[in-house]
Amino acid sequence: MPKTTTWELPPHSGAKHLLLRRYLEAWYPKLANSAQLRGGGQLNYIDAFAGPGIYSKGEPGSPIIALTTLLNHVSFPKWGGVRFLMYFVDADEDRIESLKVQVDKVWSDLPGGKPKNIEVEIKLSSFLDLVGELKQISSSKNKSFYPTFAFVDPFGFKGLPLADLCDLLRKGSCDVMFNFMYDAINRWCGTKGDQNQASFELLFDGTRHLDVNQLEKGEREPFLHSLIEDTISEHGHFDFVRHFKMEGSSARTLYTLFFATRHIEGLRVMKDAMWSVDPTNGNRFSDRLVKQPSLFEGAPDYDNFAKILTQRFGGGTTSIENLEMFTLKETRFKESHLRQHVLMPLEGSGLIQLTNPKKGRQSRHFPAGSMIKFLTPHGDLDSV
């Protein structure tokens, strides 16, 4: 963790901020429009490791990004009936002071000053205490939160009760973006220390008895990723969990952002955000991209997508709607990749057939209601 109040923004943090911004650009209107239509309501944004609100060269930190994304939204003036609670927490006093200055600056730069329907709470607290407090509130009232987006962006993995946090978010319209510092755990593996063992158990609710030290190097990352995914979906009852890897200037994974939602629209928005940051794979960013962009150029691997589809649907017939849903839920690809980049080439090669409606009458390829027959047997697509 840097010792100074602010620090330099590395490219991977810029990519993380872009994902956050893109997601919030769609999350705010989705929930605020419906709250406004219902006559009012509240939305919460929680930044649990908020930081100082500014980087050393003046770039905004995550709480300021969340706030300005809301204020700059074209529909914000229409959401007068919706209360927005922005809850920013950090355990470092100087960073909290810096954040207060940055938030005040947002208000003073705004013609008309702070809008009445935004409340910003900036709190000096540890995440552990915050979760304890929220637990008490929610169990005493026995009700779910208002729609909430929680951004959990720690350094390292200490004092991080992920399972407890997800327990809190298990009801209602809650989404979470969680930064899992894989590199910190990986560095700890192989060293001895009860404190780190305790942090590890806290992260995974203490019920999982495992010894990551026993795992071979190459096994650790996929193992820990699936452990995180299981913890998030079991404790938070999230239907959709996706992750996005961040690499440093060597090809090593520094951390992985896990995103969880119960809403299919949330999943769609997050995948769009991920592909906008990584137009080749939709699932990772590397600081090497800044120095050597040519390493990362290239079209998405549509052949791989075609293989995935054939493995699943080969020899059978299915609807275009089913293919779109499968693409969204079960693959890293986007629905917009499906028709032009995969189905049309497969049709051109005679590997699939449109059975209904017949071709020619529709202006769009594979229109709604299309049934598609995969002529290749299950899993066989070597000729593509």
Ligand X SMILES: C[S@@+](CC[C@H](N)C(=O)[O-])C[C@H]1O[C@@H](n2cnc3c(N)ncnc32)[C@H](O)[C@@H]1O
Which of 6, 106, 149, 153 touches ligand X (CB under 6 A)?
153
| Number of alpha carbons in the 13 Å side-chain half-sphere of residue 309 | 35
Q: C-beta of 6: minimal distance to ligand X in Å?
A: 9
Enumerate residues 6+ apart whose C-beta is below 8 A from 265: 30
**CA dihedral over 372, 377, 378, 381, signed as positive or negative:** negative
Q: C-beta of 153: minimal distance to ligand X in Å?
A: 4
Report 6-65 residues binding ligand X (CB under 6 A). Answer: 49-51, 61-62
Nearest to 265 by CA among 216, 323, 335: 335
Closest to ligand X by CB, 49 vs 258, is 49
Report 97-126 residues binding ligand X (CB under 6 A). Answer: 126
Q: C-beta of 63: minimal distance to ligand X in Å?
A: 7
Site string for ligand X, 322-361 (x = CB under 6 A): ----------------------------------------
What's the burial of 373, exposed, middle or buried (CB within 10 Å: 0-12/13-18/19+)?
middle
Closest to ligand X by CB, 87 vs 305, is 87
CB 283 within 8 A of CB 258: no
Token couple for 186: 């990986």
Q: C-beta of 57: minimal distance to ligand X in Å?
A: 13
Closest to ligand X by CB, 62 vs 253, is 62
Binding region for ligand X (CB under 6 A) out of 28-36, 88-96, 206-214, 325-333: 88-96
Binding region for ligand X (CB under 6 A) out of 90-98, 113-121, 167-175, 246-254: 90-98
Report 154-213 residues binding ligand X (CB under 6 A). Answer: 154-155, 159
Closest to ligand X by CB, 72 vs 311, is 72
In the chain, the DSSP E strands lie at: 41-47, 82-90, 118-124, 148-152, 174-180, 240-247, 253-261, 284-286, 317-319, 352-356, 371-374
Q: Name the CA radius of gyration of the chain, rounded.
A: 23
Token couple for 174: 């809650």
Query: Any idea which residue has 């997508």 for tokens?
Result: 305
Site string for ligand X, 57-86 (x = CB under 6 A): ----xx------------------------
Q: Is position 92 an interface residue for ligand X (rule: CB under 6 A)? A: yes
What gap in Å lies between CA 8 and CA 2, rounded to an integer? 10
Helix (H, G, I), strand (E, B) or coil at 66: helix
CB 19 within 8 A of CB 273: yes
Enumerate residues 6+ apart whose C-beta is below 8 A from 113: 107
Which of 23, 79, 127, 366 touches ligand X (CB under 6 A)?
127
| Number of residues this chain uses to bind ligand X (CB under 6 A) | 16
Which of 90, 167, 247, 278 touches ligand X (CB under 6 A)?
90
Nearest to 342 by CA among 311, 375, 371, 384: 384
Binding region for ligand X (CB under 6 A) out of 72-80, 152-160, 163-171, 203-211: 152-160
Closest to ligand X by CB, 125 vs 280, is 125
What gap in Å lies between CA 261 and CA 23, rounded to an integer? 12
Which of 15, 24, 66, 91 touches ligand X (CB under 6 A)?
91
Which of 12, 22, 95, 243 touches ligand X (CB under 6 A)?
95
Give the CB-nearest residue to ligand X.
61
Instruction: State the residues that interact with ligand X by CB under 6 A.
Output: 49-51, 61-62, 89-92, 95, 126-127, 153-155, 159
